[in-house]
Chains A and B, each alone.
Chain A
Amino acid sequence: DAGVTQSPTHLIKTRGQQVTLRCSPKSGHDTVSWYQQALGQGPQFIFQYYEEEERQRGNFPDRFSGHQFPNYSSELNVNALLLGDSALYLCASSLDGQGVNTGELFFGEGSRLTVL
């Protein structure tokens, strides 16, 4: 049973560029959340997708956007990159579309973005 997979694992961009990160949820999961983890800090919630719509959003600017596909996979897009966007971006999946919320998220290993 494949867990949460993310790609790419590492990437380097320059200021002003745009980036797309991808996530495939754990088999059977229908909800995908994205978190940003700066070096030495805890993950911070960016947003969550369910039924191809953004259901919740954290305190991140509109430069951060996402998408969920019918197969439940998801993308995170960041436009006009800033140096401060350098971080580990974590994808987490869960099954709570039917209101069965166990409280457990399954995380991928993350995509490490470096902005120069």
Chain B
Amino acid sequence: GNSVTQMEGPVTLSEEAFLTINCTYTATGYPSLFWYVQYPGEGLQLLLKATKADDKGSNKGFEATYRKETTSFHLEKGSVQVSDSAVYFCALSDRWGAAGNKLTFGGGTRVLVKP
């Protein structure tokens, strides 16, 4: 079955530091890949996505590239802010374009950015 593995946290950084959160996946076929973010006291929200190999998703300064050869979708940001403190979830869906989108999530990585 499908699975997603991401690095465990917490990850503690200083403001303006570089952030990388590793994510690898196991899936049949060609899944779509996502990063969701959960800010304190809020629901999960989509951060970025990529639907095919070599696609790069980007949003709010975050980027992730769909690497089929390494089955990875690592999240990066060049200069983090205190407001980026949140829990980040890597996820996949194998039903792109078809009805019934179902996500398989990783365990989440808590990121804490200190001023």
Q: Which A residues have a C-beta under 8 Å from some C-beta of B? A: 3-4, 31, 33, 35, 40-45, 48, 50, 55-56, 58, 90, 92, 94, 96-97, 99, 101, 103-110
Residues of chain B lying within 8 A (CB to CB) of residue A92: 44
B105 contacts A44, C-beta separation under 8 Å? yes
B66 within 8 A of A: no
A101 contacts B105, C-beta separation under 8 Å? no
The 12 listed contacts between A and B (C-beta, < 8 Å) are: A3-B43, A40-B108, A45-B104, A50-B99, A50-B100, A99-B97, A101-B101, A105-B103, A106-B45, A107-B36, A107-B44, A109-B43
Q: Which B residues have a C-beta under 8 Å from some C-beta of A? A: 4, 32, 34, 36, 41-46, 49, 51, 89, 91, 93, 95-108
Question: What secondary structure prevails in chain A residues at the interface with B?
Answer: loop
Residues of chain A lying within 8 A (CB to CB) of residue B106: 42
Instruction: Assess A104 versus B108: contact at CB under 8 Å? Given A43-B89, A45-B103, A56-B100.
Output: no
